[in-house]
Amino acid sequence: MTVCISGASGLVGNEILIQLLNNSQIEKVLVLARNPLRFGHPKMQVVIVPFEQLDQLEVAEKIDIGFCALGTTLRKAGNKSRQQEIDRDYVVSFSNFCKKTGVEKIGVVSSIGANEQSSNFYLRTKGEMEQGVARLEIPVTVFIRPSFLIGPRKEKRTGEKLIQGILFLISPLLFGKAKKYRGIHVSKVAQKLIEATLSEPKGVHYI
């Protein structure tokens, strides 16, 4: 299979990319990125493209599966409008690109609590993103909604190590309906998203 991924330089996206490259079912991984990656691989081809121009991008080969892990923080984006553009609009544009290339399955990283009617800006943005992707009616559409992500971040975020420490202590106390709020390692998120996207039947699925 040939797979296309965007957001591969981020925390979850990088883990998805590594697992795809190590997956024997995957013959080729096409990476759409704004900047070159720091490593190469025989199965990987990187296409540098401004995400504002995704609707103009064309590829000759058929792509079987798409994965999207695009996302940012308000601090990095600078303002809410820019964050919406990255977290919502770019994800929908990527998904539309995938549909045009013949993709029949797509896996998208979202967030726990995503809801287009939420009063929380971030969760509303994620909900609007899910709604926009679902409207494209790609036969198998999978959204994974992780809680706080645990893993080696490239940039330092104030207070994040403290939060990870607190989550480590309280996670065993979260069970039943509260279990979904436990912190989760990015490797588990990537593994579950890949497995679900490959195996789920037709329809829209939320994990």
Buried b (16+ CB within 10 A) or exposed e, 15-54: bbbebbbeeeebebbbbbbeeeeeeeeebbebeeeebeeb
Whether the Cβ atoms of residue 111 and residue 83 lie closer than 8 Å to each other: no
Whether the Cβ atoms of residue 7 and residue 86 lie closer than 8 Å to each other: no
**Residue 18 φ/ψ region, left for φ over 0, alpha for ψ in the -120 to 50 degree band, beta for the rest:** alpha
As a whole number of Å, the CA-based R_g of the chain is: 17
DSSP 9: T
The set of catalytic residues is 122, 126
CA-to-CA dists, residue 158 to 75, 142, 145, 164, 170, angstroms = 11, 32, 23, 12, 20
How many Cβ atoms from other residues are within 10 Å of residue 172's Cβ? 8
Closest among 8, 26, 154 to 94, alpha carbons compared = 8
